[in-house]
A and B are shown apart, each in its own frame.
Chain A
Amino acid sequence: MLLIHCPYCKESRDQSEFSPAGEAFIARPESPEGISDEEWADYVFYRTNHKGNHWEQWVHTNGCRKYFLVERSTISHQILQVAPFGARNSETEL
């Protein structure tokens, strides 16, 4: 059971208040009709399933209902940092 800090509520709350919402920084292609089936499938289906520090989306379902970003170690489940949505758009950008 994780203890998650909501960057909007600014409080650490039990995981049961939140729902996971998949890998972060998966942008919807701007013109879906202009790309190949493979590229579209990559967006819809394929995820990195990264071992190590991983950016993902969580939503404070039973709280403020906001989606936000979480960097979590998939090995130790330690949460390294959280950020409001839009604070960054990729793993490297600050």
Chain B
Amino acid sequence: MRLAQHPSHQVDYSKSLNFIFNNKRYKGYEGDTLASALLANDALLFSRSFKYGRKRGLMAAGVEEPNALVSLEIGGRYTPNLKATEIMLYDGLSAVSASNPNAFDMRAFIKPLHRFMPAGFYYKTFIKQKVWAKVEDRIRAFSGFSKAPTEEDVDVYDHIFHHAEVVVIGGGAAGISAALEVLNNSQKERVILVDERSQLGGELFNEFTSDEAAMKWHKDSVNRLLSFANEDSERFTLLTKSTAYAWHDQNFIEVLETITTAESLTSSEPQKARKIVHRIRAKEVILATGAHERPMIFEANDLTNIMLSQSVRRYLHEYGVISGKKVVVYGNNDSIYSTARDLHVNDIECVVVDVRSSEDPIEIVAELKDSDVKVLQGYSIVKVLGTHQVKAVEIKQTKLQGNSWQVFGDTQTLSCDLVATSGGFNPVVHLDCHNGAKTYFDEVSQSFLPQQERDNREVCGAVAGVGAWQDAINDAKNKAQFTLNALGVLSELTQEILSENYSNYFNVSQFFTPKEILNKPKVFLDLQNDVTTLDVALSIREGYRSIEHIKRYTAMGFGTDQGKTGNINGIAVAAELLGITMSEVGTTTFRPAYTGVDFGAMAGREVGDFFDPQRYTTIHDSHVASGAEFEVVGQWYRPWYYPKTGENIHQAVHRECLATRTSLGMMDASTLGKIDVQGSDAREFLSRIYTNAWMKLAPGSCRYGLMCNEKGMIIDDGVSTCINDNHFIMTTTTGGAASVYSALEMWLQTEWSDLDVHLNSVTDQYSTVAVVGPNARKLMKLLCQDVDFERENFKFMQWRQGTVCGVDARIMRISFSGELAYEINVEANYGRYIWDQVAIAGEKWNITPYGTESMHVLRAEKGYIIVGQDTDGSMTPMDVNMSWILAKDKPFSYVGRRSFSISALCAEDRLQLVGLLTKDSSTVLPEGAHIIDNKGKSIGYVTSSYFSPILEKSIAMAQIKGGLAKMGETVLVKIVQKKQGLKEIPCEISSSVFYDSEGEKVDGNE
């Protein structure tokens, strides 16, 4: 029901908006939330509960709402599990309940069984009995949450970075006051004020009908802030509809701003961000995050139209909405009288039920009684009557004896259609705790308050336990002065006298947890996860004591609302049942994020093409023109294979391999990491980080090296070229380039700063074209006239400086295929030219470009390892049968050497790299397949596996326990085949050199 427009209302009755909820059309106004608009339309049902499928309505008006979960929009704009209370209405909005309250629900149908479904039910029934896998899908379909999105998000999200001297979080009375105090008393300090609502003011709106001073202060202060924002935008940034969801180390604050409007959803160009993550680095933080009200607990407290008292007020004041005609206001603090007064002023019938007995009646109670509002003090609601919606409450007399509440006397029934409850307030300490602060339990406010003193942060207003708006404003001014002092700004404090109409809400009586209520069924603590007092009692009976364990056993506080309303009552119930104090129970841990954050917003613009850098060689366009398929290797787009029309990968690789082995192939090797090593100790450095000898490598020569870490494990390999005694060029694996470079720098800077060595990454500076095959020499002679390519003059593992097609080049005679091969290195921008010239000149030998797949086959035929494929960070050189590369007589104990003699690394049953030949030569083993012994136990796995075109058979490399001593033995490889199911393939362990074991091919044809 909507009331007549009042100045406190933040909705504009002249601007109506259409929207659709659960397939029904409704009208709301600009300024409404989805929740307030539905409430105004008397649409009270929002969802079904998580476990029992009970119909639920609204409980709150803000982010603490546990029930009203909805899915917003459809298709590429679909967003699951939003709270209806945090969605600002826009024209054309479309939403559905996360779990439709009007649809048939199996769980509600099996209602008589609910008492057999306590905490731990699913675990005990399904997981312990090992049938979970069979029923999981069906059970999950029941849960009260939205379905996951199925389409790609079409929206754009942004990230903005800010630096500020002061960040004020929370735009209620305290936050407004603090921000103004800082701005008024400083000259250049940058201030950011963050508030989750669309209008500054927080709970202050609730005081507008009863106190004109509140309205005046609000109007003046907000206008002043807006003028700062408009006129001094360098200094002051105002972020509304923005939730600070995390506070990290060193005052790094993350804020999510929501900008969903009708325009942002319908306009196409230019596309505006729907949400923005603001990342703020602040010097000082002022927390004015306020407090969330918590409910009183009683039987059947989850029926529709049982709401928080201050939320009822907020719907009334901000949106002009009330969802009942006859209200029972129930609680344990003075805020309930303010609610009753506001309802009465709006001609809504109400009764006040206060658990506290009146010893010292306050003024407002007398006023209410004078205006014929029934006030029952020393009474409590024990039960609510009604099927889905509240019809009446049952009340009994109450008194506090010693430390425990007693409920006694006859039951009276009050008919009503709305219950407004207040069980006190939970200061929003979440952000403070994200950043490591502790809380303490305060007896007066019966709440956990943030610790008093912290560096670079102040707390003010409700979060600091200040329970009257006038006090909050002055508290904030005071704390803002501390902040100014911390920044070295001198100023004088002036307190404001605001109004006489004064009510402190934070004198709260002890938690109302009498046995008579705790022992009843359906006394809900966490409404989103359907956790009741009996669940907490059960977890304690089953031996859980820590609140963290009770939380995990019952799932209390695990929902999307993170138990903002319910957790503290759960703690109180646990304290009562355990017979200890609130302080001894303590709170669960508050972790980011405070409220849900869209994955899209976290990703920002770093999606699609911007997800990861894409690196291309200078030859890339030529590969594209040749129709290459690409694979991504450490951000590089490398040609994978070059299919001709109609060819699949196997046919293309077959052709490429045979052409290379029989005539001529070419490959783009530009992506290999290249590190320029210079300095008078370059040789010494290489011999410290590689396992083999480097002191005698002559200029003009190259050498293969294997690099280990101190643990003795292989981390990289590659060929280094000696340019001169003080200059080497090291190549690394494509994927390992960055980490190797970083590791080398670490040795030089932190251990061997006495060595004269300088490193530079030159990967991008050179293009490398490999010319591979028995006819390679003939081609090189055609392309380069100033180098002698004769076999005896330009030997394997040598390099020459020359001119290739007019371009200066370093030509290395090295090979990763076992064939005669030359790698032509030129300044990067000549890469494409050289590639194309090689391709043209090689036509007469049918030169065939090949990609990484053929490269892998060719190297596997020769048994060459690929670090990271045949090794996994736990393999030593001995494990891969490369003991030959370990120098025995280097004076310096090179990196990793000492570890080789540790007993564990010498064990005979270590995984060792061997070759594997299937008995049926046409079967290609899947990589990763397990190798089993005759007892069916795994003894290793396949690391590389291909069909070799030149050998016309399947070849594989594998790590097998003690494999090097098992040559010729037969083992079984277990594989799963689509139709036949599990199959065991017999294989023979062999040498991993399958082709040209004598090494005769490396010199090529004449």
Contacts and interface: CB of A to CB of B under 8 A. Distances in A.
B753 A85 contact: yes
B150 interface: no
Nearest to B897: A32
A79 B251 CA distance: 13
A2 B252 CA distance: 8
Interface in B44-85: none
A3 to B, nearest CB: 5
Contact of A67 (B250, B252, B750, B903): B750
Contact of B281 (A3, A27, A37): A3
A1 B749 CA distance: 26
B409 to A, nearest CB: 54
A83 interface: no
A85 B248 contact: no
A40 B902 contact: yes
A94 interface: no
A61 interface: yes
Interface string A17-44: 0010100000110011100010011011
A70 B478 CA distance: 36
Contact of A28 (B745, B751, B753): B751
Interface in B746-778: 746, 749-751, 753
B990 to A, nearest CB: 35
A65 interface: yes
Nearest to B750: A67
A81 to B, nearest CB: 14
B396 to A, nearest CB: 50
Interface string A71-87: 00001111100000110
Classify chain A's interface size.
20 to 34
Given A3-B281, A32-B893, A76-B436, A57 B750 contact: yes
B893 A86 contact: no
Contacts of B710: 28, 43-44
A57 B250 CA distance: 19
Given A32-B897, A44-B710, A37 B903 contact: yes
Given A32-B893, A41-B902, A86-B753, A59 B745 contact: yes
A85 B436 CA distance: 30
Nearest to A69: B750
A32 B745 contact: no
B899 A67 contact: no
A2 B742 contact: no
Given A3-B281, A40-B902, A67-B749, A59 B742 contact: yes
A46 to B, nearest CB: 13
Interface residues of B, number: 22
Interface string B898-912: 110111000000000
B249 interface: yes
Nearest to B252: A1
Contacts of B745: 59, 65, 67
A44 B899 contact: yes
Contacts of A44: 710-711, 899
B249 A33 contact: no
A1 B901 CA distance: 41
A3 B250 contact: yes
A67 B746 contact: yes
Nearest to A66: B749
Contacts of A65: 745
A61 B742 contact: yes
A67 B746 CA distance: 7
Interface in B927-956: none
A33 B900 CA distance: 11
B23 to A, nearest CB: 44
Contacts of A59: 742, 745-746
Counting chain B CB atoms within 10 Å of each CB, the highest count among A32, A75, A77, A85 belongs to A32
A78 B248 CA distance: 11
Interface string B552-574: 00000000000000000000000
Nearest to B249: A77
A40 B898 contact: yes
A59 B738 CA distance: 13
Contacts of A43: 710
A14 B742 CA distance: 19
A45 B901 CA distance: 16
Nearest to B893: A32
A32 B750 contact: no
Nearest to B279: A1
B749 A85 contact: yes
A53 B746 CA distance: 23
Contacts of B903: 37
A40 B902 CA distance: 9
A1 B750 contact: no
A78 to B, nearest CB: 8
A41 B898 CA distance: 10
Contacts of A2: 249-250
A21 to B, nearest CB: 6
Interface in B235-280: 248-250, 252
A31 B893 contact: yes
A52 to B, nearest CB: 14
A40 B249 contact: no
A59 B741 CA distance: 12
A3 B742 contact: no
Contacts of A40: 898-899, 902
Contacts of A79: 250
Interface in B519-539: none
A1 B248 contact: yes
Interface string B827-841: 000000000000000
Interface string B288-324: 0000000000000000000000000000000000000
Contacts of B249: 1-2, 76-78
Interface of B: 248-250, 252, 281, 436, 710-711, 742, 745-746, 749-751, 753, 893, 897-899, 901-903
Given A28-B710, A32-B898, 8 more contacts: A1-B248, A3-B281, A14-B281, A40-B898, A61-B742, A76-B436, A77-B249, A77-B250
15 contacts: A1-B248, A1-B249, A1-B250, A2-B249, A3-B281, A37-B901, A40-B898, A40-B902, A43-B710, A59-B745, A65-B745, A77-B249, A77-B250, A78-B249, A86-B753
